[in-house]
Structure 1
């Protein structure tokens, strides 16, 4: 088990806050575009994503303070993120029975496969797929609003996930690698939060497309 410095563990809470705030900022925007139910799904997505990040950051801080190695906190990251981003995708994507069924199957598939393999990489892979869909959708919405800066920020967020996923899955989680991961994650989630703020700052009339 890696001997984490307290500073490293404390910094891990920063991207968690940025991600949670970013999703929460989208609640009124999604409510305006897709209705109150979609807004509630977005709020629930923020709760699940925040809980996932908080569980991993809390585990790391406990370890850094020479506490017990509570692996259930560590392993909760990707399953909770997967559920959160499934909810966000459902809130953002156009109404479709096929899309609804597919998204309903995602967390079931991820949780079952992770349980059978005794590893969270299936949930991690599905999380990256979901983030890809969400990032593209948000970028398209931003571009439709004429905000190319926000669209680019969501592109940065997407690129960051493809870098962070494989890094986080590596078994040799040295302190140096963790600093690289967390620095990249903080910048990536800051881009997402800023893009979400720019998108949410625009008032939209309710639409169902």
Structure 2
């Protein structure tokens, strides 16, 4: 059975798509203030690719709602483009954590611990780097007693798992609305965490 989307759901899908770069903006400002240029550039570049993938998917969904025809490139490119983006975010965050640990080397710290087959590795990279990025940021937030940011990012991780579960179910209209609202909530958590990171370092 072909996937069906309403115009309202398709339009709502643009909300989390544009919330994500807001979160990226706050985090790159945080890195800028800290003087971590390499991490900042990786987050800007990675954020662009993640946003681009989400935008392609939102446009594909809107086109489906309006014309009931699928533009394969828009939906198939999601995993490829976002796997590149989340990999950049993960590497940028890894550089940041490593530099922070080097600064604190003399202080005690907690140790850092039904689709086409070609999409599978990209989806795996997309998921693992997304979770890894959030995990590293949670680690840093707890290390620096920024508990609100940590809990918001943990909430975002929980929502990522919820979205994965919703994506494996039948995409009825009700499930689509739940998925869109859940995704929006996740991006709000991500954006607020980025804002708190930026606000904390600018005190």
User: Normalized against structure 2, the TM-score is what?
Assistant: 0.82
**Deviation per CA, 1:90-113, whole angstroms, max 9, x where unpaired?**
1111379xxxxxxxxxxxxxxxxx
Q: Alignment partner for residue 192 of structure 2, among 191, 194, 202?
A: 194
Equivalent pair of 2:34/2:201 in contact (CA under 8 Å): no
Equivalent pair of 2:22/2:191 in contact (CA under 8 Å): yes
Distance between the aligned counterparts of 1:171 and 1:121, measured in 2?
Answer: 18
Query: Paired residue for 1:152?
Result: 151
Query: Paired residue for 2:166?
Result: 167
**Deviation per CA, 1:144-193, whole angstroms, max 9, x where unpaired?**
3322111000001111111212432x373222221111111111111111
Q: How many positions carry a matched residue from both structures?
A: 185
1:140 Cα deviation (Å)? 1.9
Range moving further from structure 2, 6-15 or 24-33: 24-33
Distance between the aligned counterparts of 2:79 and 2:87, measured in 1?
Answer: 12
User: Normalized against structure 1, the TM-score is what?
Assistant: 0.80
Distance between the aligned counterparts of 2:144 and 2:133, measured in 1?
Answer: 16
Query: Paired residue for 1:11?
Result: 12
Query: Paired residue for 1:179?
Result: 177
After TM superposition, the structure 1 = structure 2 runs for residues 27-66 of structure 1, keeping only pairs within 5 Å, are: 27-33=28-34, 35-66=36-67
Equivalent pair of 2:163/2:182 in contact (CA under 8 Å): yes
Gaps of 5+ in 2: 98-114
| Runs of at least 4 residues off by over 6 Å | none
Distance between the aligned counterparts of 1:174 and 1:142, measured in 2?
Answer: 38
Cα-Cα RMSD: 2.3
